[in-house]
Amino acid sequence: MPAHDETLRQDADALLPELVALRRAVHADPELGLRLPRTQRRVLDALADAGLELRLGDGLDSVTAVLHGARPGPTVLLRGDMDALPMREDTGLDYRATGETMHACGHDLHLAGLVGAARILAARRDRIAGDVVFMFQPGEETGDGAVRMIEEGVLEVTGSRPIAAYGIHVVPGAYGVFSTRPGPLMAGAAELEVTVHGRGGHASAPHLARDPVPVLAELVTALNAFVTRRFDVFDPVVVTVTQLRAGEQARNVIGDRASLGASIRMLSAASLDRLTAELPDLIDGIARAHGCRAETRFDVLCAPTVNDPERAAGALATLAELFGDDRVLLSPAPVMGSEDFSSVLQEVPGTFVFLRATPRHLDPETVAPNHSSGVLFDDAILADQAAALAAMALAHVAVRER
């Protein structure tokens, strides 16, 4: 890391009160999905005096902020998501949300940390050769925010596509520890909905009907066998049936339809292709064997999050130089959660990084996880988050002294 960036952490610490105030204001006033007008306004206000080029989304309340360096050079993209979850908060925080919406996945920290990185880098404009794009993204939880911003041109906003893209996600764990890995980091996600159409009848004479319920029962076991017999255990796929619907009529009536819903996770594009091609045939065959008909809908929510090996190695080295080797880990394996930053990484070589942010007085082994009504993060982590994002960008655009 260039010598002039030894003050990154000090500058981030100086910004901390401002970033904490922003995070807490957003936390207390969460918004869902693609339309986040109050959140968008807070981001714009926080960047108003930073000298950045600001663009707003058309079909969503995004903010794209561009820092043009003093000299020509490559473009780097930094991303933070901004949307919350439809759940009631149960943390007891003074600044907790009081409605039916909550920042239970740390996106309030992500946007505040990205604001911090933007302000740190803006103060170094004369030492930057290139451009930095700050991608403030709605709609991560709905799975379409990143795609929508890409469609609206976030990757072309400087006239030069980014050579690297980085994002940080806070998670529970030992405070201040970063981790990532080359290759697959997080799973892709899909949803399966199956409706089996049969023929209703009287429960006393099932041979005169075409009962869809046994088809549903067979499908549950067949889906599990499908995963274990068609996919390599070292390229895992998870199919979890979470919904079964049948029998809304009286107990002595065989209904004419039944349905199931399932969540699917995978770690490779090849597995996603196989699931898309083969699952409908499996389901259709089982239904036809019972004299029924199956209607199958397979919706891909997001692709696997796959880090570029070179960018991952560079990020690990940059973070270790800035924070010390004891605070940076090579993730031993991917996790089966999903993240729509994967859409950016399909277009740009980059890396997604986890940052543990459990308050230091709590046991990281027993705290509530992300997407829990009681999840807690220490917003003092914002200084390190901002410095880390800025450092990963500077690894590509800092002016090299001769």
5-53 residue pLDDT tens: 679 999 999 999 999 999 999 999 999 999 999 999 999 999 999 999 9
Mean pLDDT for 359-371 is 95
Helix, strand, coil % in the chain, rounded to nearest 5? 35, 25, 35
Collapsing DSSP states into helix, strand and coil, what is residue 175? coil
**Model pTM greater than 0.85?**
yes
Give CATH superfamily name and number for 3-185+304-397: Zn peptidases (3.40.630.10)
pLDDT at 248: 87
Q: Is residue 4 very low, low, confident or very high in pLDDT (cuts 50, 70, 90)?
A: very low
Is the per-residue pLDDT at 401 higher than 70? no
Name the amino acid, one letter, at 231.
Answer: F
Model confidence pLDDT, tens digit, residues 208-249: 999 999 999 999 999 999 999 999 999 999 999 999 999 888
Is the per-residue pLDDT at 277 higher than 80? yes
Collapsing DSSP states into helix, strand and coil, what is residue 391? helix
pLDDT at 6: 75
Model confidence pLDDT, tens digit, residues 71-122: 999 999 999 999 999 999 999 999 999 999 999 999 999 999 999 999 999 9
Q: How far apart are CA 291 and CA 197, in angstroms?
A: 9
Q: 340 is written with which tokens?
A: 């729509």
How far is Cα of residue 62 from the mean position of the Cα atoms in its chain?
16
Long-range own/partner contacts, residues 364-369 (CB < 8 A, 24 or more apart) = 364/172, 364/173, 364/174, 364/175, 367/172, 368/172, 369/172
Q: How far apart are CA 371 and CA 310, in angstroms?
A: 31
Domain regions of the chain by residue span: 3-185+304-397, 188-302
Mean pLDDT for 125-133 is 97
Q: Is residue 394 very low, low, confident or very high in pLDDT (cuts 50, 70, 90)?
A: very high
Model confidence pLDDT, tens digit, residues 151-176: 999 999 999 999 999 999 999 999 99
Q: Is residue 191 very low, low, confident or very high in pLDDT (cuts 50, 70, 90)?
A: very high
pLDDT at 96: 96
Q: 80 is written with which tokens?
A: 């933070």
pLDDT at 143: 87
Q: Identify the CATH number of the domain defined by range 188-302.
A: 3.30.70.360
Is the per-residue pLDDT at 319 higher than 50? yes
Is the per-residue pLDDT at 256 higher than 80? yes
Is the per-residue pLDDT at 356 higher than 50? yes
Rounded to the nearest integer, the mean pLDDT of the chain is: 95
Share above pLDDT 70 across residues of the chain, in percent, rounded to a whole number: 98
Is the per-residue pLDDT at 343 higher than 90? yes
Is the per-residue pLDDT at 1 higher than 50? no
Mean pLDDT for 121-147 is 96
Is the per-residue pLDDT at 2 higher than 90? no
Is the per-residue pLDDT at 267 higher than 90? yes
Q: Spell out the SS3 assignment of the chain.
A: CCHHHCCHHHHHHHHHHHHHHHHHHHHHCCCCCCCCHHHHHHHHHHHCCCCCEEEECCCCCCEEEEEECCEEEEEEEEEEECCCECCCCCCCCCCCCCCCCECCCCHHHHHHHHHHHHHHHHCCHHHEEEEEEEEEECCCCCCCHHHHHHHCCCCCCCCCCCCEEEEEEEECCCCCCEEECCEEEECEEEEEEEEEECECEECCCHHHCECHHHHHHHHHHHHHHHHHHHCCCCCCEEEEEEEEECCCCCCCEECCEEEEEEEEEECCHHHHHHHHHHHHHHHHHHHHHCCCEEEEEEEEEECCEEECHHHHHHHHHHHHHHHCHHHEEECCCCECCCCCCHHHHCCCCEEEEEEECCCCCCCCCCCCCCCCCCCCCCHHHHHHHHHHHHHHHHHHHECCCC
Mean pLDDT for 272-279 is 95
pLDDT at 5: 67
